[in-house]
Structure 1
Amino acid sequence: MSVQERKERERAERERLIVATARELAEQQGWDAVTTRRLAECIEYSQPVLYSHFRGKREIIGAVALQGATEMAAAVRAATAAVDGPHRRVTALAHAYLDFAARNPAVYDAIFELDGGLAYAQEDTPEHLKDAFAALLESLGEVAGDGVAPGLFTEVFWASLHGLATLTRTGRLLPEDTEPRVELLVGRLAII
């Protein structure tokens, strides 16, 4: 291995450590606890080293969001691949999405609530985010109904899931009523 390859590997490892530490801190104590000073202390590197990887907290949030979008897409695909039939697939998708949001609140916030400097629904949207939407579209597109654009239907269904996830997490909806909400959502929106 050349010196250059070793340096690149070490740089990538430091970057993974920064993102993992930020994510862990955010999940334990909220995003307000994630500061460059705190991260530098936790990973035992100086702040200038941190800034050599990320220009600040906003970029770190963006990196967590991209990582989270990849994980969410994988969770949705795994859940939908395990079942047969459009109704069961869409129900599995809804549960996988809501479970991901509940298990990873800080990551979910990084993806959808916080400004990580990422472009959404634009030409320069990062591939990780496009793939997360594609994971939803794969199952939802087949139940959009005649005359309804699959992408538009996916956006509306996704917005509904996001609302359920957010309102449940903030205590405005009772978590024990998740199942009837999912059944209502799937039953009313998905043309099966």
Structure 2
Amino acid sequence: MAASSTGAARSRATGASGAPSKDVRGAILAEATRLFREHGVDGFSMRQIADAIGYSATTIYLHFKDKNHLMYAVCESGFAEFGASLAAAAASESDARERLRAIGRAYVDFALTHPLHYDVMFIRPKEWAIGPLTDARVGVGPEDPQRADPESFAELVQAVEAAVSARVFEGTIHQGADAREIAMRFWAAIHGVVALAISMNDQMRGFDHDAVRARGEVAIDAALGASR
């Protein structure tokens, strides 16, 4: 009976063709995402996932070779959502200045609603989590011009280029800087607001979402309009 039960479970896990079942993979990812959001990357085990979805731990390893591989897949969805939210924000405004404001607000919103994703993406990046952010080709260093920028950053650079063309930065400290450098400054300003909030939220008061969004608006204004 035990052998029959094990065989049936393996059949459900792999599907009729013997290939790993997409339904099971989806269930694993959904439960891993839930546990990640509740407990952080180090707060749960593969066994807990297996118990929650009613499969053996061995079943998970048919789909993911280890926890790092699983967490990479979990965070891929976070990267995709992050990029999509910035792209949607950029598409929502035709005015170059307001487009940058919208991107900045979307950035803050993502960080506040996905703090654990943001932590592993931008504050304390894990080796397994940074693949979507970088060009992983061997021999291409961070300063190599062949290294591709992350798609979300490329989206920001495009918005800044449009703002430069619209003379948004004339008379500001950004005048004369290239679009990529201005985008870096803009990113740094917004990142500082949300990284501080995520890092200090449980240690001191003043980091409720409304307060952080208000600071985000100040950072956006400063990044856009600081005069010489």
TM interval, shorter chain, is 0.7 to 0.9
Give the direction of change, closer, same or farther, for the CA distance of 1:48–1:92 in structure 2 (3 Å limit): same
Percent sequence identity is 25
Q: CA RMSD in A?
A: 2.9
Aligned counterparts of 1:155 and 1:116: Cα–Cα separation in 2: 22
CA spacing shift, 1:133–1:11, aligned 2, 3 Å: farther
Matches within 5 A, 1:122-161: 122-124=135-137, 130-143=150-163, 148-161=177-190
Contact 1:79–1:93 (8 Å) recurs in 2: yes
Higher helix share: 1
Query: Map of 1:40-55 to 2, 5 A cutoff?
Result: 40-55=50-65
Aligned: 1:185 with 2:205: no
What displacement does 1:60 show? Answer: 2.0
Paired residues of 2:46 and 2:57 also in contact (CA < 8 A): yes
Partner of 2:134: 121
Cα-to-partner distance string for 1:129-162 (whole Å, 9 max, x where unaligned): 8333333333133346665443343334323322
Instruction: State the 1:123 CA deviation.
Output: 4.6
- Retained in 1: the 8 A contact 2:27–2:53? yes
Amino acid at match of 2:192: G
Correspondences of 1:59-74 after superposition (within 5 Å) = 59-74=69-84
TM-score where L is the length of structure 2: 0.67
> For residues 27 and 102 of structure 2, what CA distance do their matches in structure 1 show?
32
Aligned residues: 182
The answer as to whether partners of 2:190 and 2:219 remain within 8 angstroms in 1 is: no
Secondary structure in 1 aligned to 2:65? coil
Query: What TM-score do the two structures reach when normalised by structure 1?
Result: 0.78
Listed as ranges, the matches of 1:65-104 within 5 Å are 65-104=75-114
Could you list the runs of 5+ residues in structure 1 that have no partner in the other structure? none
Higher relative contact order (CA 8 A, sep 6+): 1
- Give yes or no for contact 1:137–1:151 (8 Å, CA) kept in 2: yes
Deviating 4+ runs (over 6 angstroms) = none
Does the CA contact (< 8 Å) of 2:28 and 2:53 recur in 1? Answer: yes
